[in-house]
Amino acid sequence: MNRRTFLALAGTALAASPAKIPMGLNTYCLRALKWHDAQLLDYAAHLKMDAVFLQDSLDPQAQEPSHWKEVRDQAARLGLHLETGVGGVLPKNPDAFDASVRTLQQGVRRSAAMGSPVVRCLHAADREHLPPGPIQQHIETMIKVLRAVRTQAMDSGVKFAIENHKDLLAYEMRQVIEGAGKEFVGSYLDTGNPVFVTEHPMTTVEVLGPYALTVHLRDSVVYETSKGIAVQWVPLGEGAVDFKQILARIREVCPPVYIYIKPITGRPPAILPTLDQSYWANYQDVRAADFARFLALAKSGHPYEGHMVIEDLPGRTTPEEFVLALQYQQREHMERSVEYGKHVLDLGVRWRA
């Protein structure tokens, strides 16, 4: 089932149709396996997914136009809807503006050639890696970058899906989308990143849901510590987030979308030092009511009680002794999360046949 077929079946809103929501997997969660694109597509088909999101491909041919057609053809043979994109595009300084535009232009060409209706992008890895300057400045810069590629995107029939990463709050991301133009920009709505900016995932869904072009489900434990609040990603259905409520709200506020399972695990809890006054110097844009909602989630939470190999540390090579364990864990956590998506959240179409 491709996106056009799904849209025709689903109507103008998820709530308007009893049809099941198509489900896919996000390939970034399996990066320790170092699979090429063809292997990832075969795996998604093996799990009877409806779609696959190729994110941060490790395929050596990932940027070759001939490879794009091969991927598109394979996805079609397997009956998989495919989405993809690029990474961070916010210029680090004025001299980097043209390079950011070129990155988006390449993303448009690649997505269109692979049959993806979206080009995923983001501002930066997290708030600490944003360029110097206030948040409003970054919003205005991102709008200018996106507008510079508007014509190419619309001519190619693709839209930019900006991931709410660990950088902007949902209401700020909405400003980017509306400022650039909803006709070619929307939300890559991720439920795992909001907790890193003291935002409840439900707030993110409510604010960005109407702009969603693609939705990615990721669970977290959130709990209080002596220094503030700890957050950690865990397999879907094993954290503090009530995904039955999240899905109900998605059906109410989102247009028809594919929903992707995205369990990024193997990382230690991150401590948000919310009890330290200096922490708030970088988060003066947080709204009191939104933080109160997040704090309530933390007060009801607790540390993860399952087993997890903590060896997926950004910026550090995994020690050889843990490589096989991490590979096993990423695949096992994906499959556990997919089963939760199928049998608890009632997502997906193909697996029912």
Q: What is the CATH number of the domain that holds 168?
A: 3.20.20.150
pLDDT at 6: 46
**Tell me: the pLDDT tens digits for 258-277?**
999 999 999 999 999 999 99
Residues in the chain: 353
Amino acid at 68: W
| Domain carrying residue 258 | 3-352
pLDDT at 86: 98
Coil, strand or helix at 83:
strand
> In total, how many domains does the chain have?
1
Q: How far apart are CA 98 and CA 148, in angstroms?
A: 9
pLDDT at 5: 47
On average, the pLDDT of the chain sits at 95
Could you tell me what percent of the chain has a pLDDT over 70?
95
β-pairing verdict for 219-225 and 270-272: unpaired
pLDDT at 314: 83
Binned at pLDDT 50, 70 and 90, residue 10 comes out as very low
The sign of the CA dihedral 321, 324, 328, 330 is positive
Q: What stretches of the chain adopt beta strand conformation (E)?
A: 23-26, 51-54, 81-88, 118-122, 159-163, 185-190, 212-217, 219-225, 228-234, 259-261, 270-272
CB 257 within 8 A of CB 217: no
Tokens of 54: 């190729």
pLDDT at 19: 83
**Tell me: the pLDDT tens digits for 23-37?**
999 999 999 999 999
Q: How far apart are CA 85 and CA 54, in angstroms?
A: 8
Average pLDDT of the residues in 144-173: 98
Average pLDDT of the residues in 169-194: 98
pLDDT at 315: 85
Q: Quick one: DSSP state of residue 268?
A: P
**Tell me: the pLDDT tens digits for 194-212?**
999 999 999 999 999 999 9
pTM listed for this prediction: 0.94
Tokens of 63: 């940027």
Average pLDDT of the residues in 27-49: 98
Residue 54's nearest CA partner among 65, 64, 39 is: 39
